Amino acid sequence: MALQFHRVHSFSTEQYDPKSVPLQASSVAKTERREVERSRVGRETCKRCNRPPPLCVCQTLPENLIDTSTSVLILQHPNERRRKSLSTVPLMPLVLKNCVVKVGYSFTPEQLELVTGCLGRGQRPLLLFPGTDAISLDDKNSVDDAQNILRDKEHLLILIDGTWSEAKGIMFRSPDVINICQQVQFESECESIYPIELRKEPKKHCISTLESCANALIHLEHSAEKAIEVKKFLEGSMRCMVDKRISYSEWRNRTAPRFSRPKQKAYQKNKRRHEIKKQLFS
């Protein structure tokens, strides 16, 4: 959008400050860019999964949210919330009815209603995170401990969403929450749906938050049929997301310009600034 500049008066030698010329030109150029950004219409997204049409995963979601006896609480690191394109957490509330996501660097029990409600029932929340005191849900050697957990009809499963360093940081800054939880883990290894070229994990057996939740519900949910149904929809939506992301990336690479000028955006920005500078002060 071009701006028209009207010279109300000529600049005298006393009024003219050469040092202010670049600042004024940059300010006018920035105003132009902001007007263009405001005039742009946001891209179309699906009303249900909140993804662009080429990346929509609604065909793999259940018609109605699945009501499980196990409540799921996800403590998400703010950095992970910004990784929307490959994050699995946004898919989970589209499948599970009893799923809550809390974002932050640290948490206290008073901030988490599900935790206080679980304690009010006389139960300990289950934190899915490996550790020396963690009970293995799928280890034959710890059947007695696992059976004590599975006797409860309702569970609160807490998962930490973030990189390993971010997850450890949340645990370090949230000692009150960690101390009232019973840590649980898996002994068996399973390979993630994520391909290496799309998202690299520190170890081959490391899996996403969604996959961890699906595997945990297989052991915690009283209805085996419902647990299998939840696992099918969770992992099915994730596979759809991964496949469409790979296909979309390949399509973008094919349609990308053959030749691109380096630093083109900065070049156009400075070019417009110099044009405005000439119009104002030449």
The pLDDT tens digits for 79-123 are 888 777 788 999 999 999 999 999 999 999 998 999 999 888 888
Q: Tell me, what's the pLDDT at 57?
A: 93
Which residue is it, tokens 């938050």?
209
- Give whole-number Cα distances, 235 to 71, 92, 125, in Å: 18, 10, 24
Contact 190, 211 (CB under 8 A): yes
Q: How confident is the model at residue 11 (pLDDT cuts 50, 70, 90)?
A: very low
Q: What predicted TM-score, i.e. pTM, was given to this entire model?
A: 0.72
Contact 92, 237 (CB under 8 A): no
Q: How confident is the model at residue 275 (pLDDT cuts 50, 70, 90)?
A: confident
The pLDDT tens digits for 114-160 are 999 988 888 889 999 988 888 888 775 655 666 667 666 788 999 99
Mean pLDDT score across all residues of the chain? 80
pLDDT at 161 over 70: yes
With CA atoms as reference, report the closest residue to 93 among 237, 198, 190, 202: 237
Helix (H) or strand (E) holding 126: strand 126-128
Distance CA 199, CA 206 (A): 11
H helices, E strands: number in the chain: 9, 6
Q: Tell me, what's the pLDDT at 3?
A: 47
